[in-house]
Structure formats: structure tokens, C-alpha cells
Structure 1
């Protein structure tokens, strides 16, 4: 039921971090994977993940740019022979500044990658999935989909948009056999959060005290959830924002 052998997947932002963890899990479950990223790190990641089993490919793309996104996704679809069974929109950025310190240009950059590029990717891949009559799309929400956060106006707004986009597209496409869900990671030990994890800041003890699991998450913690939502086991699961947070949301 969780076997992805023969399935073809695209994962954005999978050169490192959470995207890499999910791409690895899909590959280990049998899927052929294309990583779309702007970082050259994706090549090393693809080599590591693809040492055995199904192929892992890379496509370089700048998700800030509309034309570059179209070229990258069309190239990825071509590599996969025109078939896409799974899309994971994992690429994302954060600009951790107060509203008064955040220029409008930086707001726009966060919104472009975290929400507009997600919409664009869903639209490009969704066209293929509608013709196929099947597909799984996983978007990346956040704890800040539910909370306002601190010094995170653009990020929180973008992740709120991802949740509503996920639910709206689920309403449109569930009848075509496409399931669209979002994962809302809790506090994860990734490069994006290094400023919170290192140095002296008042937020770290506040966060730690609210996680019942008593640890931050890792990219590997998202692997099983990504495989579940990509598999036949989730054929009747759609429009869900699924927290993977060690219990943070319950406190």
C-alpha cells in the first residue's frame, strides 16, 4: 500500500533540508525522483540518494522567476517521460525581520517563492495529472499557518496562503482523482532555523518548553508522512493540513 515503485515524482528545494528528507523517502519507497533546485548541492544529493534503486535526476531552476519555473518544470516532466504522479513543493525561504525592518521587495520575494511558485507548480503539474486522472500533490505549510509567529510577517502570510491554496485546489481537483494535501512541520533542525538554534536568543527556551516530544524535528521525520500522502494509502485523504510537530500545536 505504501510502495511507490514505478511512480514518478518532482520535489522542489530538495538539495538539502526537509526537501532532501522527503525526496530520499520517496526514492527509498521506489519512486523515480527529479529534484528542482537553484543550488548546486542538489547534484551531490542526487548522487547520494540515487546510489541504488530508481534514478534521481536534477534540474536547475530559479523559482523566483516565472519563465525559469516553466522551463524547469517542463524539463522535469520531459525527464519523467511526460508522467508525474507526485509533486512536493518543498522550496521555501524566510526573512526573519520585524515588519518595520522588512522592505516590501523582501516581502515580495518570500511570497513569490513560498506561495506564488507553489501555485504555479501546481498549475503546471496539475494539468498533467488531470489528463492522467490521478496524482498526489504535497505542499509545505508551517506552524505559522496557524500562528502569527515573531518577526515573520511575510513567512506567516505566505504559509497561510499555502494552506488555503491547498484546500481550494483540493475542492477543484479531487474529482479528477488528484489528492492535494499540505504538511505543516513544527520546529525543524535545518539551516533555515540556525539563527534560532545557535547563539543567545530568548525564543529558543520558549520553543523548547512547548514541544512535548522534547526535541526539534529532523528532515527524516517528514519522510514517512510524505510517503503516506504520496501512496495509495492516502487515496481518500485530500485538503488536509497535517502537522508534524512533536505535539507543539497541542500545547
Structure 2
């Protein structure tokens, strides 16, 4: 039943993969502000230390672990360690991912496989590891970080689009297979977000900056803060009857054909 506490996730344990920086860090910060205990992983100790320092500077007590989302044994061990040291994971945010911008005919099969492995196999491996304990506990929330490339194609991102399209369908299948156990699995699809990685593209005269603003009804880039509210919603009891849904936080790009020249 909806109440004033429906968005309160105090006491919930949230694992954010690749949560040292960027979108993962912003989502974790939003969850922390609504009471969640934050744990995260990254691929090496340097990134984990960077993340721990950033969380501390933000006033958040987080725990960080080194683990590769494509290594099933490492992830199984990670989940066991978190359960022993912190508790059963209530909220999983499958955020870890990469993109390689290479024209398809120039992309090696090895590069293609690497993107698929991290962006699609990784969420499968981590979700598989947390679901059994969620079932025993009586429910849980899984948020897969999808993309507008879950719906659209674009030059040079064949592997990324294939992975994110697959992640959309994995999201729906987890919802279908485990919804009866009170597990809600939804996707969050960011639009074009202001991050350090996009900074070179966001100068006023850059053609890509003009392209994105012209294609976005909101007429601006998104900010990491724009993702916090939707993530809290999908992580909280307010979304208990929302399952298999992809929530695009894109300023309206997917709804818009663009201005007439």
C-alpha cells in the first residue's frame, strides 16, 4: 500500500556494479540519500579506492570490492562476502559497462565479444548470483542500466546496441521468471548525460552538442541528478507493481522526431 514511506529504502542493501564513478556513483548517491546502505565493485583496486574516496567526500559510508562482472566465480564470491559482511542484497543496480565506437566492418569479433561480455553477460552473471538470496528473503529489486541504444541504432555502436537491446530483453525475462517471488526487475535508460566523458562534446560550438540539444525536447543534456529520482522509485516499494519496464530518462528524445529544417 502506498504511503509517505513508500520511497524510503532505509536499511536496504544496494549493490551497484562499476559504482566507483559516473552514472553508477550518482545512482548510488541517490539511493544513499533515501537510506540505502551502499556496496559497490569495480575491476581493480585503484578504481575501488577512487570510489571510496568519492563516497566519503559525499558523506556516504560505502564498502567497495574488487570483482570482474564477467567472472562468474568472482561474482559468486563477491555476493557471499557481501552477505557475510553487510547482509543480503536487496537492490542490485547492474551498471558496469563499456562502449567501443568502431564502425562495424572495422570491428574485430574479439572487441564485439568484449562489449557483449561486460554489458550483457555481466548483468546476467550478477543477477544470477543475487536472485537466490532475494527469493529466500522474500523479494528484491534489480535495476539494469539500459540505454537509448536499447531502442535505436547509431553509427559505430553495433556491439553496444546489441548488448543493450539484449539487456532490455533480459530485464523482461527476469521479471517474467521471478516476478512471482516478489522480485521486480526493471531497466533505467539514460539519455545523453553530463559526465566527464561527455565534456569534450558539450562545448557550445561542437556539432554533437547542437545535435543533442536539437533532438531533445528538454533542449539540454541530462545531469546525473536527473537519474536519482527514477532510480529511487525503481528501488523502492513505490514500484512494487512495476516489472519488466524500461524507464527512459532522456528528456523526451525517444518520443521526438525532431524539428523541421
Say yes or no: TM over 0.5.
yes
Count of residue pairs the alignment pairs up = 250
Separation of aligned partners in 2, 1:68 and 1:157: 25
Q: 1:225 aligns with which of 226, 230, 237?
A: 230
Separation of aligned partners in 1, 2:135 and 2:21: 30
Partner of 2:120: 115
Separation of aligned partners in 1, 2:154 and 2:71: 28
TM-superposed CA distance for 1:223, in Å, is 0.9
Secondary structure of residue in 1 paired with 2:68: coil
1:31–1:54 Cα contact (<8 Å) kept: no
Q: Any stretches of 5+ residues in structure 1 without a counterpart?
A: none
Separation of aligned partners in 2, 1:110 and 1:132: 33
TM-superposed CA distance for 1:100, in Å, is 1.4
In 2 relative to 1, CA 113–221 (structure 1 residues): closer, same or farther, beyond 3 Å? same
Separation of aligned partners in 2, 1:16 and 1:168: 29
Corresponding position: 1:8 with 2:13? yes
Considering only aligned residues, what root-mean-square deviation do their CA atoms show, in Å?
Answer: 2.1
Q: Any stretches of 5+ residues in structure 2 without a counterpart?
A: 1-5, 257-261
Report matched runs for 1:1-251 at 5 Å: 1-39=6-44, 40-50=46-56, 55-81=61-87, 83-193=88-198, 196-197=201-202, 202-251=207-256
Secondary structure of residue in 2 paired with 1:154: helix
Separation of aligned partners in 2, 1:63 and 1:85: 18
TM-superposed CA distance for 1:34, in Å, is 0.5
Query: Whose radius of gyration is greater, 1 or 2?
Result: 2
Separation of aligned partners in 2, 1:97 and 1:8: 38
TM-superposed CA distance for 1:43, in Å, is 2.7
Q: TM-score, normalised by structure 2?
A: 0.89
TM-superposed CA distance for 1:90, in Å, is 0.6
Secondary structure of residue in 2 paired with 1:58: strand
Secondary structure of residue in 2 paired with 1:87: strand
- Range 203-212 or range 108-117, more displaced: 203-212
TM-superposed CA distance for 1:191, in Å, is 4.2
Tell me the alpha carbon deviations over residues 142-194 of structure 1, each in whole angstroms, 9 at most, x when there is no partner.
00111011210000000000100000110111110111100011011224545
1:140–1:182 Cα contact (<8 Å) kept: yes
1:16–1:42 Cα contact (<8 Å) kept: no
